[in-house]
A and B are shown apart, each in its own frame.
Chain A
């Protein structure tokens, strides 16, 4: 009873005030929400500006061709050289290798989840894939360090197992969750009629899946691949733990350094031009990522049409 009377009193007090200030109040809220709305745009702009401001000076000083196409990275020598071709190539090969292993595996798994397995199994495997997506990258790195690196060393008889091949294996596992979930959505979006028509024409279930469903989900699967590329090229910590981290031109069984790990590994102790060059590497990486995002957006847009 008591609380009710208090409430009515409050409403009586509030009502006239709301009328006076309601419009202004609503306007303030609208402005606040608009600010929140555009804050993401603001962040993107700020990030871009900061990367360009801090990345360009070193490129200017070193020379863009020397920086991008130079094959030697010896920043602390008497006559230092800042060529990031080894990093670019290592990132490229690493990503390509991860895609080569991870994408077929991921797509087949997505086919399994959407078309072949029953609801129960599918739920369990989906849960597993979700869990995989949530595991921190350093944990992948740790397992890679303890399991994959020694295994690669033993199997191929190498002095050191921390190399490009180990990094590819770890990356292949790490891109699986994104590849699987995006291809799953794509496969689920294929109209049932396509499959029914194919089955009615006498194709087996498996033939239908691989000759009708998968081709029909082509652009969605392409989006999955592009997303995987983005994940692989941007991964730093796990790669740092298994790739050996030496600035060599990449060989499959040689110790390599990626664009991401080049930034991460020297940032803590570098100074002067070397530090600025690291920002330039980040800028190059950022440009790659933006290009990949652009492609991803185009692919998704085409699919929507």
Chain B
């Protein structure tokens, strides 16, 4: 077959094919190079002292304990609020809504929210939560901003999962005399748990990686906060990403910046893997 093809076609074929291979190789090398570079530069600087102290200007030491805690606080506050909202929204779209126009409107709004860049969220969060609601620069203001940001993720993953729940579950439950809410709670939501968990993991990834939206809402402080301070007005603090930005751009302390970058990378990797496997595991548990 191949011998009948003219030389120009062969050459063009070869060029295109090698371009395709080349681009795939370039992208893999890019990622691999970046991973290795950050891990090699960052891992040696991760020490117990870095992880368990707060930065001190007096002793000129860096510590990221406050930032680790702040990241954890923000993740918890955000998920606590966004989870009921997002799952509720998805349940409404999939189980309750009958008006097609309303569904379209909500889906359009969700897509719009997903497309808004984080710097705008940061600004609007500052206007609404920091100034208008007078929460001050605080973890709460940051978490509320992130609630709006992560809402589309939770809605989308939950909705996709709800769509795969067979109608026979609903009919069976209703046929046995359950009310609609009882049916949703006992038959529909448990079968959609994989989507909800995946949504949570994706949101955590988004929160961990977010910086622009938090810069003006959660602030840049590096103090250790206890949980009560974290949820009170004016409890400001920077997350890992924000502090990494400050270390790199404002202070020029690249050793610490790379150490944080390495931690962020490892977190991203873990979240990615767990997102993939929880979906599979929970689905499998469902079948048995």
Q: Do A and B come from one complex?
A: yes
Q: Could you tell me which A residues sit within 8 Å of B by CB distance?
A: 18, 22, 25-26, 29-30, 32-41, 43-44, 46-47, 50-51, 54, 104-105, 108-109, 111-113, 116-117, 125, 127-132, 134-139, 141-143, 145-147, 173, 176, 180, 204, 206-207, 209-210, 230, 233-237, 240-241, 260, 263-264, 267-268, 279, 282, 285-286, 289-290, 292-293, 296-297
- Cβ contact within 8 Å between B89 and A39: yes
Q: Give Cα A142–Cα B110 distance, bound, in whole angstroms.
A: 31
Identify 12 new A-B residue pairs, CB closer than 8 A, beyond the known A33-B91, A143-B38, A206-B12: A37-B88, A108-B23, A108-B24, A130-B272, A139-B265, A141-B248, A143-B37, A147-B37, A180-B27, A241-B245, A292-B115, A293-B111
- Cβ contact within 8 Å between A241 and B37: no
Closest 6 CB pairs of A and B: A234-B117, A36-B88, A37-B92, A136-B209, A108-B23, A236-B119
Query: Interface extent on B, as a size class?
Result: 35 or more
List, in ascending order, chain A residues with CB within 8 A of B257's CB: 142
Interface of B is mostly: helix
Q: List residues of B (151-195) whose CB comes within 8 Å of A's CBs.
A: 151-152, 155, 179-181
- Cβ contact within 8 Å between A43 and B151: yes
List, in ascending order, chain A residues with CB within 8 A of B118's CB: 234, 236
Q: Give Cα A125–Cα B32 distance, bound, in whole angstroms.
A: 11
Q: Give Cα A279–Cα B272 distance, bound, in whole angstroms.
A: 35
Q: Give Cα A230–Cα B112 distance, bound, in whole angstroms.
A: 11
Q: List residues of B (238-283) whose CB comes within 8 Å of A's CBs.
A: 241, 244-245, 248-249, 254, 257-258, 261, 264-265, 268-269, 271-272, 276
Most B CB within 10 A of own CB, among A29, A43, A109, A264 = A43
Q: Give Cα A127–Cα B273 distance, bound, in whole angstroms.
A: 9
List, in ascending order, chain A residues with CB within 8 A of B200's CB: none
List, in ascending order, chain B residues with CB within 8 A of A104's CB: 23
**Given A29-B181, A33-B88, A264-B212: A41 touches B31 (CB 8 Å cut-off):** no
B57 touches A (CB below 8 Å) = no
- A113 CB contact (under 8 Å) in B24, B31, B123, B276: B24
B100 touches A (CB below 8 Å) = no
List, in ascending order, chain A residues with CB within 8 A of B102's CB: 37-38
- Cβ contact within 8 Å between A279 and B123: yes
Contact with A along B134-159 (1 / 0, CB 8 A): 00000000000000100110010000
- Cβ contact within 8 Å between A44 and B113: yes
- A29 CB contact (under 8 Å) in B112, B180, B249: B180
Most B CB within 10 A of own CB, among A54, A138, A296 = A138
List, in ascending order, chain B residues with CB within 8 A of A279's CB: 123, 127
Q: List 6 A-B contacts (CB under 8 A).
A: A29-B180, A37-B106, A43-B109, A105-B27, A138-B211, A268-B216
List, in ascending order, chain B residues with CB within 8 A of A22's CB: 179
List, in ascending order, chain A residues with CB within 8 A of B22's CB: 108
- Cβ contact within 8 Å between B30 and A108: no
List, in ascending order, chain A residues with CB within 8 A of B119's CB: 234, 236, 260, 263-264, 282, 285
- Cβ contact within 8 Å between B27 and A136: no
Q: Give Cα A128–Cα B124 distance, bound, in whole angstroms.
A: 33
Q: Give Cα A207–Cα B17 distance, bound, in whole angstroms.
A: 10
List, in ascending order, chain B residues with CB within 8 A of A240's CB: 249
